[in-house]
Structure 1
Amino acid sequence: MQATTVLVEGESDRLAVEMLALRRGHDLTAERVSVVPMGGATSIVRYLQIYGPAGANHRLLGLCDEGESRGVARALGRAGLGSGPLDDLGFQVCRADLEDELIRCLGVDAVLNVIDAQGELASFRLLQRQPSQRGKPAAAQLRRFFGGRSGNKIRYAPLLVAALPPGQAPEPLTRLVEAFARES
């Protein structure tokens, strides 16, 4: 069985992918799947050298934000992994970012319940009152809440995935985790 490496932009993405895989019954160790945070999509060239055809020759899958997708596609082509739509190459794209996908999938009220369960609803309400946040949609304010404080994305990614109703997840995450079972 060939090893599979899943390249993700950051630690919050890793935690979310691993949490959804666990919820879907995957044993990543037994399936020889490793989820590797790259510290940003711009580091993909280095990781393709390590895990791609010129390196360990692992089966590669990945997750990136839409804003990074062109650079990821170029890097995959240069590494000899083909060209074409990223999902055909095993890389899934989040519209804005993973948090945006999770907020849309769960809905604002469910995300607020997760924040409340962590005792941070007052902190979120304070952010909403800031002049730069007034009048913005709640989903945009939530993205700012997750991205604005160091460690919030890492803290909340697995909590948001855990809050998903059974069988429900953002499409990019679903397609990525379903790909673990193919050709592994």
Structure 2
Amino acid sequence: MTETSRTRAGEQQAEALLRFERAARSWLNGGAAATAAAAEARGLTEAGVVTTAVLVEGDSDRAALQALAESNGRDLGDERVAVLPMGGAMSIRRYVEALGSRGLDLELHGLCDQGEVRFFERAGMRASAFEICDPDLEGELIRALGLDAAEQVLDEQGDLRLFRTFQRQPAQRERPAEQQLHRFLGTTSGRKEQYGRELALRAAADAVAPAPLRRLLAAV
């Protein structure tokens, strides 16, 4: 196979995996298109597009895991690993039943916040199959990097001035800076996803990636 052929094959695999991820989410979120989406997800699985699914709570978890994989020279798409944000841990049972041994029979892994462990356990996920963030992904990333490095990432993204303004708000003044930053990351739509990726990339570059992310990536 030529280099051009390999590149095209990789692009086709990436496109197909993205189709699976979209179909699976549409199927499992319900709605008018759920039946067609279920058929598409099943067909793509049978075609070998995906063999493993990583179930995460939100888009920021997905962005962080993919960023860490890229930093380690891995392409999860090529490896047929789908990363599926569920829109919250309470959806885990539906995903496990549909994608696990009773459904599409994919190998399942997961990542959850410390406060959501019970949902993963009740869904039948083995303790060894999922990792736990303490208290959540943002907390893990801030703690791993340290405040100075995390603020450098904000500065690079053009958000440090906004953060300084946020810190001066009455409700924030008495909180430690790490807690202020944690809260800041959740104040605007899309910010968690943006910084899930950017902080994970910086953590990987500094060789301080949070242990739950490192263990999860090693397991898939």
What TM-score do you get using the length of structure 2 for normalisation?
A: 0.74
* 1:62-111, Cα deviation, whole Å (9 max, x unpaired): 000000001211112xxxx55xxx2x2x1000011101000000000011
**Large movers: runs of 4+ above 6 Å:** none
Equivalents in 2 of 1:55, 1:156: separation in Å? Answer: 34
Mapped to 2, the partners of 1:127 and 1:30 lie a distance apart of 41
Q: Distance in 1 between matches of 2:69 and 2:77?
A: 11
**Secondary structure of 2:108's partner?**
strand
The CA RMSD measured in Å over matched residues stands at 1.4
Q: List runs of 5+ in structure 2 lacking aligned partners.
A: 1-47
Letter of the structure 1 residue corresponding to residue 214 of structure 2: T
* 3-state DSSP of counterpart to 1:109: helix
- Partner in structure 2 of residue 31 of structure 1: 79
Greater RCO (Cα-Cα under 8 Å, separation 6 or more): 1
Rg larger for: 2
> Which of 171, 193, 218 pairs up with 1:154?
193
Given that 2:93 and 2:122 are in contact with CA atoms closer than 8 Å, whether structure 1 keeps it comes out as: no
Counterpart of 1:144 in structure 2 is 183
Q: What residue in structure 1 maps to residue 148 of structure 2?
A: 109
CA shift in 2, pair 1:171/1:36, >3 Å:
same
Which residue pairs with 1:67 in the alignment?
115
Q: Percent identity?
A: 50
SS for the counterpart of 1:7 is strand
Gap regions ≥5 residues in structure 1: none
Give aligned pairs, total.
171
Aligned counterparts of 1:95 and 1:14: Cα–Cα separation in 2: 17
Aligned counterpart in structure 1 of residue 62 of structure 2, from 3, 9, 14 = 14
Tell me which amino acid in the other structure corresponds to 2:219.
A
| SS across alignment from 1:147 | coil
| Displacement after TM superposition at 1:135 (Å) | 1.6
